[in-house]
Amino acid sequence: MKNIHVQAQRDHITSLCTASPIQALTELVWNALDADAFDVKVDVIQNPLGGIESIRVTDDGLGVNALQAEKHFGNLGGSWKRDADKTPLSGRVLHGSKGKGRFKAFALGNLVEWRTTLQTDAGLRSFVLSGSAEDPGLFKLTDTPSPGPATGTEVMISDIRTSLGSLLDTSWVVQQLASHFALYLKAYPNVRIYFQGLLVNPVIVQHACHTYHLKSSEGSKAELQVIEWKTKQGRGKIIFCNTDGFALHEVDAAVRPGSGFNYTAYLVSTRFATLHEENLLILEEMHPEVKAFLDAARDILRRHFRERREALTAEMLQQWQAEGIYPFAGEAADEADAALRKRFETCALTVRSYSDNFEILSTSEKKLIFRLLHEALASNPEKAAALLGDVLNLPLKKRKELQKL
């Protein structure tokens, strides 16, 4: 056994061990992809009580070069990636370059083992590198007598931290990974990422994808890819990416799409890698070029979702009329009837967006809901809007929007 000491201050190393569970998983997947893996599998192993016992990340990459472990694990900022820009086997662009990603594993658990097999001139050799969150600057290297059957790495994380409950929501994790790796998986379609046996495929979890071209006032060009997701997630984001799909920096999009839309906007340009290296992307509103891109992207997003809301409304009305559940017939009789229809359509779309099971209801059940909604809005629109807000537990902003109808 051999001890490997990281050449850096302890407080600096400790600061690198912090991350949200999904951020930590993402870094481990990136490390596997940078090792030329084509298949990366993430598994959350539960104990009999339903808690998380361990986390395992396996890949079929080239393995960790344990023969030069002191160089690769011992020098923070001295990663082998620093002297390369492509993976050695498939020529994919590298994500990391400073050797910091491995420390994110300690954000998941206190004990981490890298069980790796690599190809040497003498054949396959296997090693175990282990570390502890108690002293993240110390790694122990052990040579395994019997090598594995093929190159690759298995990261085993145990003594799990208590705040990892979000990783038990499989559909949510798949959604988050799909959002993060969407452009990379599009650029390299032969790469596969699995979580709990489910393929992380952005196409499966996305509802639509739209591409726009824009130019900053300085003349730099970029592409804005807007992906709308099928499942609910947090606030919309604008993610700055290079042309190989790497997420360099993200900001709040600050564009509210309206009920029923969940999205991520990817701003892609060769220019962003340079701005990222110069630490200018993080300036956001303070840097003229970055601000110009953000302003242009937000203008496109506002227009995009205005048009999408109009199209969705027309599409839903046609569907409801075809199903016979739309509680109006013919054209509006007068202005009052037209106003009632507008209020109903807004409230009906809200019911569809904020009800988790509306789409699986039978036609007769939907028809009953819409008839009751129609009668309530006709007799007392303010009371009906308030009741809708309470029943659907609508956010305050949406409640106020309905009250103004």
- For 106-150, what is each residue's pLDDT tens digit? 999 999 999 999 999 889 999 999 999 998 888 899 999 888 899
End-to-end CA, the chain: 72
When pLDDT is averaged across residues 151-173 and rounded to a whole number, the result is: 91
Tell me which residue range forms the domain holding 30: 2-168
Q: 345 and 221, same structural domain?
A: no
Q: 251 and 372, same structural domain?
A: no
Q: Is residue 268 part of a domain?
A: yes
> Are 60 and 120 contacting, i.e. CB atoms less than 8 angstroms apart?
no
Q: 237 and 385, same structural domain?
A: no
pLDDT, position 365: 93
What letter represents residue 261's amino acid?
F
Q: 376 and 285, same structural domain?
A: no
Q: Is residue 186 part of a domain?
A: no
Q: 398 and 253, same structural domain?
A: no
> Are 207 and 281 contacting, i.e. CB atoms less than 8 angstroms apart?
no
Q: Is residue 182 part of a domain?
A: no
Neighbours of 339 (CB within 10 A): 14
Does the pLDDT value for residue 154 go beyond 70? Answer: yes
Does the pLDDT value for residue 371 go beyond 60? Answer: yes
211-245 pLDDT, tens digit each: 999 887 667 789 999 999 887 777 899 999 988 77
* Mean of the per-residue pLDDT values of the chain: 87
Q: 38 and 132, same structural domain?
A: yes
Overall domain count for the chain: 3
Final residue belonging to a domain, choices 258, 279, 309: 309
240-274 pLDDT, tens digit each: 998 877 888 989 999 988 767 889 999 999 999 89
Q: 17 and 153, same structural domain?
A: yes
Percent of the chain with pLDDT over 70: 94
pLDDT, position 80: 41
Q: 101 and 8, same structural domain?
A: yes
How far is 350 from 259, CA to CA, in rounded Å?
A: 7
Q: Is residue 177 part of a domain?
A: no
Rg, C-alpha atoms of the chain:
26
Does the pLDDT value for residue 12 go beyond 80? Answer: no
CATH number at residue 11: 3.30.565.10
Q: 358 and 214, same structural domain?
A: no
62-85 pLDDT, tens digit each: 998 887 777 666 666 545 455 567
> Are 295 and 288 contacting, i.e. CB atoms less than 8 angstroms apart?
no
